[in-house]
Structure 1
Amino acid sequence: MCGIALIVSGVRIDLLHLLPDFKSSLPEVEQVDQPVFSFDDIKAALLRRGPDNFGSKKVLLLLKSSDSSKKEEIISLFNADGTTNRENSCLHSSRIKNDCIPSTSGVTSVQSNDCILGKSVAELLFFGATLQLRGTNQVYQPLVDGYGNLLVYNGEIFGGIHVGSNNNDTAILMDALGRCFSCNCQGDKKACYCTKGGQNSVPELLSKIKGPWALIYWQDSSKTMWFGRDAFGRRSLLVHWPTADDSRFLLSSVSPPLSYKKNLDLELEGNMSDLSFWEELPCGIYSICLDASKANDCLVGEVRKHEWSNPELKELIEWERTFVEPKSEHLNFPHLPVVGDQHAMHSNYVDGMPSKLSFDHDVKHVKTDIPTVPVNNTILSDSCLSYKGVNQCSDSLPAQRVLLALKESVKRRITLERMFQTTANEVRPEKFVPVAVLFSGGLDSMILAALLDECLDRTYEIDLLNVSFDGESAPDRISARAGVKELQRIAPSRRWNLVEIDADLSDLTSETLHVMSLINPAKTYMDLNIGIALWLAAGGHGWVDRGVSNNHNEGHGRSMYKSEAKILLVGSGADEQCAGYGRHKTKYRLGGWLGLHEEMKLDMHRIWKRNLGRDDRCISDNGKEARFPFLDEDVIRTLLDIPLCEVADLDQPIGRGDKKILREVAWLLGLKEAASLPKRAIQFGSRIARESNRKNFGSNRAANQASAGSLVIHMETKFT
């Protein structure tokens, strides 16, 4: 994980299959004398992310004479860590001659960093920045196998493809991709006659992966470039389709800073709408098959999008719930006290904020007279959860099923492999903090923190990262401090570090300009406000008040602190799946259960574009890896299998019926105060939205009248 990129020059990209409205005549390929983004720009953007290593490799493509009967031997030059190593792109020169040069495409590839063998027609330049968190051996990207295939990968494999405890995801995936059959049929099985028994195609293999990913893979035997991102878009991948201004095809995890480009006029029409170089690549698997026969003296690459082949994944993408309209049997589910005793819960709050914490309620009130449920004729004894000495089977109540799925999701994302622990011991074994939580003290982050405590060895501390633009008065700072007290109650032996990150928007001019490049292609004030808050939180530079953060006798006092945790748990996806937004209540009031379901479905279908790409870029810029337990495939499946009326009950007040299922999960975890907290978005809870409105519009009222959140950023108001 960290970042990947690709620059393709000298190839005419045919988008007709991907974009039917695209003009039929292919754009001319021209030399780009002053590109908007150069090799050095993209390299610098990826290096900012703090990778363990960075590499680049070039593939030069030559047109092979059709009347030549002599096959050439191809030598590749690789440059690793500043030293030049001469290697063959295939295992043996005889294999190069016999197998690596295809007989159909008429294209020959040469992999090199610093030499050209003959006259090149096109150039493929790959970038790989690696932040390695898995595997005992260091992995350097781009990876090249013995057949000339090349991979840059930004992701994790949590299931679908086996990755041993000592193995690295990228290395395992490279090996699996190398065994995929190759053809020029673009995945059209009806027209494909070159499949091999027992082998996967590239789309079939990628469809198996559980976990977030983005990749670029050059399959040398078929002269096909594969690229894409996972079905929910949990890893960023931006695309630039060739234009008259820049005929190159580019992919990148992040945009380099626009402000550094002197050839761009940032004041053009006073806003960012003209700076549309990048697009978010829609989720999916794509290929570009290079063919020399379609144009004279120029390679043509035909772009196609491929279907996911995994039926279970396709069901998750469609996001159809098993039961939308409630049935009589659904109304008889036993409920936890958080739903039925709201007055008692709110008695501990003043104006929606936690007052002096009271823990008079006891989990013993939770119904426990429900029999153990067999699954596949086996009693799931390991699935029976125990809280406060009360055993409850995970398959009894919907909330318990969600709790178990979430706990397994967190466990997958924080398992410390040998490489990870070795790195920890080398740095600071007695104080190493491996995992942090983006922490507001609200419902979602409290659940993640409590589950992290259950899954992570007690010898490790846990960082809770909280950002405020209004000091101790911001709602998120107040709830975070109250939340730590509740976490200390349920996990008194854990050492919690509430990292209080204080910021002043007026002091962040250069930082704001940088975050604008991170959120690109997003351009609104809301995106910028969220991006700045996430970027600062992920940076982890703040203060720890030992009197607030732990119950240990270490004295009090506020001291500077820098979170070194590389893994950051984020609550994205909870609101979309559990009806946490205000508009969900409106849709339910106007359209009933079906209207609510359709709105939630729309949220899940666009979360890749509205949220996840932006959030991944802002967090990753600090050398951190965002992980999203609520968007685990098994968690999504579990929530879809539960009747919608059990997920949310929007006839109830805010803080009660919204995200009802998660409030019950919080109750099961012993988080009785957090179970009643209302939803607050980070831009409001941290109060960056208020400060941004005052700075750019004069007041909150003026900003609201202008619908500031959805407005495109005006450069002149922001930076002059």
Structure 2
Amino acid sequence: MCGIALVLSGDCLVVAPSTAAAAEAAASGTPFSDEGKGVSVGELKEALRRRGPDSLGCHRFHLCADGTIVGATDGVDCDGGDKVGGGVGATELCFIGATLQLRGAEPVSQPLVAQSGSVLVYNGEIYGGINIANDQNDTQSLLSSLESCCCCDLHVADRDEAYPCRESVGKSVPRILSTIKGPWALIYWQADSKTLWFGRDAFGRRSLLVHWPTPDDSRFILSSVSPPSFSRNNSATKVSGLEAGADPDFSDHTKVCYWEELPCGIYSIHLKDLDNNAACTKEGCVVRKHDWTDSSLHTLIRWERKSTVPTVDGLISAMGSVDKGNHHLSSCFRNSREAEDSTSNGFEKRDLPSDICLSPAHRVLIALRESVMLRTNVNILYQGDLNKLEEAELAPIAILFSGGLDSMILPALLDQCLDSKWTIDLLNVSFDGQLAPDRVSSLAGLKELQRISPLRRWRLVEIDSNLANLKEESEHVMSLIYPSNTYMDLNIGVALWLAASGDGWVNGQDGDRYKHKSTSRVLLVGSGADEQCAGYGRHRTKYRVGGWVSLDEEMRLDVQRIWKRNMGRDDRCISDHGKEARFPFLDESVIRTLLEIPLWDIAKLDEPVGKGDKKILREVAKLLGLQEAAFLPKRAIQFGSRIARESNRKNFGSNRAANLASAGSVEVHKRNH
């Protein structure tokens, strides 16, 4: 996990001030300035440092009107204030990168600067699309690939259409980024073309916020997270800065917060046309959105299922194959566990079952297991750090653990992918001690995991809290969830933030309860399971009212808006502790596998809660030996931890009053004011 940011400022960013502001500036004789409510570079650094505690770097330079680069500086303290230098017409670009080092044989600090002068700050993991050896660093490998890209004007200016230069010169930046399998957000300065590229993956699994130029702050800013001082009271600002052509993600915006979630996609700002006589005004300096070039990725983004409405023949065939398929699945899965091959990086690599086991549940099991394996490789560099710890502390991977269906599947799969010498930490948060539903289910889940894998050292970390004692912490979490700002967002954010801290209590084998803080830097999270497998109550309502088609439409809507509703917020809350959240259910291959399976095999909402919802995952749980977890009902973290109940009592007086006020959608700052 890394924290990345860019501050772009200078004469090229001409902002048309409001009429009142212009009149006031004219009357005072003072030119309009961007020295208003702007966030400082220092504030960005402090916020990003929490995400990437291993190193913090900065690279600043000025692009003059004639296209030359001057005044390049590197280092943690390359602040130089927030003024633009470099002469008349100069544009300043300031890149910031904070790193949580998890991959590669040697530590790597960001920003990375190539010999060409190109600059990259990257936050993500590459699990496919670009070849990366086990001892290589993702960011270095990506920079190498980007440096081989064509930088001609045609590739920069348009939407990556087929140009003759591609075959002779190289791929385009959008084509490289479209091939990446895994979560990412990046900012890349392509020096040869004088183009700034930025964006985030198609499902928004890594946070990236954007500040569009306004009369109060005419800079263009990107950041993984908002500094605390700018998380509130910065809304309702009129947009009058960079335009984005006809792209629907940016059109028709009149008022926005200081920060917005950057919509998923690949964007560019082309600055090559600057000269001594013309600044890059808002008419000439536009943000362009580029198409994804990978056709298979388009299929996932559209989220089109092959079979939605069941036929009579299909249902009869499915019903007749359930028992037979489950028998084959269980036996094949048991056989696959017998063939183990321990590798040097800490994995236990097992043969996949034969082609005879191809029921829907087994296909999902294979995809999920591969996803967990890719995300839990104990890299050479990180493994060296772990070996310095006491044996009791050896827990490189933790799981945000409620004891529910999704969070039981993840540790069962992790147990098969991670060397048996490592402990697995299960992080559970409660606002009602041992009485919270998630605490009760986590204790039961621990026993079931111990039953299916008795040789593994499982460590349930019980993180207890009281909302009344979390005033400062809640204010800090408000800055992390921003621009989200409802009570539901805050409740979820606080619960995730506390759970990710790993700071709690463990019940020892001798019955003693001792304090423990998890050292795991990688956290597996079950995000995406409910959206893809019909786990929400509203899915059942949609199905009851409109049948299979209505259910499919609601699930598609959930997946396509997960970047805005969930992923950025959750990424910021978890990574604030210098931890990296990884989401196995949102792996591209898992999403593709689930879309290839008929909807009636994914869910059967005519059946009771705890049986028909997420039907496919319940079958996966049974294959893993999780007989009790296979029947657990869905319970959101804010309810399972009971933070929602405590929040309702504190802010609305009672649960009843909160329900009448639709408390989950109430904005925190509006009620406080």
| Fold match (TM-score > 0.5) | yes
Aligned to 2:546: 591
Matched residue type, 1:3: G
Structure 1 residue runs of 5 or longer lacking an equivalent are 16-27, 66-71, 85-110, 341-363, 373-380, 547-553
Aligned to 1:368: 328
Preserved contact between residue 236 and residue 616 of structure 1 (Cα < 8 Å): yes
Question: In the alignment, is residue 219 of structure 1 matched against residue 190 of structure 2?
Answer: yes
Preserved contact between residue 181 and residue 196 of structure 1 (Cα < 8 Å): no
Give the share of equivalent positions with the same residue, in percent.
56
Matched residue type, 1:520: Y
Aligned to 2:666: 711
Aligned to 2:228: 257
Aligned to 1:659: 614
**2:443 counterpart (481, 504, 514):** 481
Please state how far the C-alpha of 1:556 moved relative to its aligned partner: 1.2
Please state how far the C-alpha of 1:51 moved relative to its aligned partner: 2.0
How many residues align? The count is 626
**1:126 counterpart (95, 110, 134):** 95
> How has the CA–CA distance of structure 1 residues 36 and 114 changed in structure 2, closer, same or farther, with 3 Å as cutoff?
closer
Question: In the alignment, is residue 545 of structure 1 matched against residue 500 of structure 2?
Answer: no
Matched residue type, 1:324: T
| Whole-Å separation in 2 of the counterparts to 1:302 and 1:391 | 52
1:26-74 per-residue CA deviation (whole Å, 9 max, x = no partner) reads: xx99532244311111111011224210101112011129xxxxxx8x6
Aligned to 2:24: none
Helix, strand or coil for the counterpart of 1:207? helix
> How has the CA–CA distance of structure 1 residues 289 and 632 changed in structure 2, closer, same or farther, with 3 Å as cutoff?
same
Preserved contact between residue 409 and residue 632 of structure 1 (Cα < 8 Å): yes
| Whole-Å separation in 1 of the counterparts to 2:292 and 2:338 | 35
Preserved contact between residue 236 and residue 256 of structure 2 (Cα < 8 Å): no
Matched residue type, 1:576: E
| Whole-Å separation in 1 of the counterparts to 2:9 and 2:264 | 24
Aligned to 1:358: none
**2:491 counterpart (522, 529, 533):** 529
Aligned to 2:263: 282
| Whole-Å separation in 1 of the counterparts to 2:339 and 2:585 | 19
Preserved contact between residue 14 and residue 303 of structure 1 (Cα < 8 Å): no
Matched residue type, 2:125: E
**2:117 counterpart (134, 139, 148):** 148
Q: State the TM-score, normalized to the length of structure 1.
A: 0.81
Aligned to 2:175: 204
Preserved contact between residue 384 and residue 391 of structure 1 (Cα < 8 Å): no
Matched residue type, 2:469: D
Matched residue type, 2:48: L
Helix, strand or coil for the counterpart of 2:314? helix
| Whole-Å separation in 2 of the counterparts to 1:159 and 1:486 | 34
Preserved contact between residue 62 and residue 72 of structure 2 (Cα < 8 Å): no
| Whole-Å separation in 2 of the counterparts to 1:597 and 1:641 | 13
Preserved contact between residue 58 and residue 76 of structure 2 (Cα < 8 Å): no
Aligned to 1:99: none
Higher mean C-alpha displacement, 391-400 vs 554-563: 391-400
Aligned to 1:304: 288
1:507-554 per-residue CA deviation (whole Å, 9 max, x = no partner) reads: 0000000000000000110000000000000001100012xxxxxxx4
**2:637 counterpart (682, 693, 697):** 682
Aligned residue runs from structure 1 range 93-112, under 5 A: none
> How has the CA–CA distance of structure 1 residues 336 and 59 changed in structure 2, closer, same or farther, with 3 Å as cutoff?
farther
| Whole-Å separation in 2 of the counterparts to 1:14 and 1:650 | 55
Aligned to 1:605: 560
**2:34 counterpart (8, 15, 32):** 32
Aligned to 1:245: 216
Matched residue type, 2:495: A
Preserved contact between residue 58 and residue 77 of structure 2 (Cα < 8 Å): no
1:634-675 per-residue CA deviation (whole Å, 9 max, x = no partner) reads: 000000000000000001011000000000000000000000
| Whole-Å separation in 2 of the counterparts to 1:230 and 1:297 | 35
Aligned residue runs from structure 1 range 496-575, under 5 A: 496-546=458-508, 554-575=509-530
| Whole-Å separation in 2 of the counterparts to 1:419 and 1:236 | 25
Aligned residue runs from structure 1 range 338-417, under 5 A: 366-368=326-328, 395-417=357-379
Preserved contact between residue 411 and residue 452 of structure 1 (Cα < 8 Å): yes
> How has the CA–CA distance of structure 1 residues 112 and 599 changed in structure 2, closer, same or farther, with 3 Å as cutoff?
same
Please state how far the C-alpha of 1:715 moved relative to its aligned partner: 5.8
Matched residue type, 1:367: H
Aligned to 1:48: 50
Please state how far the C-alpha of 1:82 moved relative to its aligned partner: 6.6
Preserved contact between residue 602 and residue 615 of structure 2 (Cα < 8 Å): yes
Helix, strand or coil for the counterpart of 1:48? helix
Matched residue type, 2:195: T
Aligned to 1:490: 452
Preserved contact between residue 10 and residue 298 of structure 1 (Cα < 8 Å): no
Aligned to 1:95: none
Preserved contact between residue 213 and residue 229 of structure 1 (Cα < 8 Å): yes
> How has the CA–CA distance of structure 1 residues 481 and 60 changed in structure 2, closer, same or farther, with 3 Å as cutoff?
same
Please state how far the C-alpha of 1:328 moved relative to its aligned partner: 3.4
Aligned to 1:3: 3
| Whole-Å separation in 2 of the counterparts to 1:647 and 1:686 | 27
| Whole-Å separation in 1 of the counterparts to 2:217 and 2:558 | 33
| Whole-Å separation in 2 of the counterparts to 1:481 and 1:37 | 45
Helix, strand or coil for the counterpart of 1:584? helix
| Whole-Å separation in 2 of the counterparts to 1:647 and 1:190 | 37
> How has the CA–CA distance of structure 1 residues 409 and 336 changed in structure 2, closer, same or farther, with 3 Å as cutoff?
farther
1:268-316 per-residue CA deviation (whole Å, 9 max, x = no partner) reads: 9xxxx99811111000000000144599542342210000000111111
Which structure's CA Rg is the greater one? 1
| Whole-Å separation in 2 of the counterparts to 1:12 and 1:491 | 61
| Whole-Å separation in 2 of the counterparts to 1:325 and 1:478 | 38
Helix, strand or coil for the counterpart of 1:4? strand
Please state how far the C-alpha of 1:590 moved relative to its aligned partner: 1.1
Helix, strand or coil for the counterpart of 2:94? strand
Please state how far the C-alpha of 1:244 moved relative to its aligned partner: 1.4
Structure 2 residue runs of 5 or longer lacking an equivalent are 16-29, 238-253, 341-351
**2:433 counterpart (461, 466, 471):** 471
Preserved contact between residue 204 and residue 309 of structure 1 (Cα < 8 Å): yes
| Whole-Å separation in 2 of the counterparts to 1:192 and 1:259 | 44
> How has the CA–CA distance of structure 1 residues 473 and 394 changed in structure 2, closer, same or farther, with 3 Å as cutoff?
farther
1:303-356 per-residue CA deviation (whole Å, 9 max, x = no partner) reads: 10000000111111110001001133432456699x99xxxxxxxxxxxxxxxx
Matched residue type, 1:288: I
| Whole-Å separation in 1 of the counterparts to 2:256 and 2:178 | 34
| Whole-Å separation in 2 of the counterparts to 1:61 and 1:672 | 62
Please state how far the C-alpha of 1:114 moved relative to its aligned partner: 12
Aligned to 1:353: none
Aligned to 2:401: 439
Please state how far the C-alpha of 1:79 moved relative to its aligned partner: 3.1
Please state how far the C-alpha of 1:13 moved relative to its aligned partner: 5.3
Preserved contact between residue 231 and residue 482 of structure 2 (Cα < 8 Å): no
Preserved contact between residue 212 and residue 220 of structure 2 (Cα < 8 Å): yes
RMSD: 3.3
> How has the CA–CA distance of structure 1 residues 44 and 429 changed in structure 2, closer, same or farther, with 3 Å as cutoff?
same
Higher mean C-alpha displacement, 207-216 vs 244-253: 244-253
Preserved contact between residue 58 and residue 113 of structure 1 (Cα < 8 Å): no
| Whole-Å separation in 2 of the counterparts to 1:433 and 1:336 | 44
Q: State the TM-score, normalized to the length of structure 2.
A: 0.87
Aligned to 1:327: 311
Helix, strand or coil for the counterpart of 1:532? helix
**1:702 counterpart (636, 657, 665):** 657
Please state how far the C-alpha of 1:420 moved relative to its aligned partner: 1.2
> How has the CA–CA distance of structure 1 residues 194 and 266 changed in structure 2, closer, same or farther, with 3 Å as cutoff?
closer
> How has the CA–CA distance of structure 1 residues 313 and 266 changed in structure 2, closer, same or farther, with 3 Å as cutoff?
closer
Helix, strand or coil for the counterpart of 1:426? coil
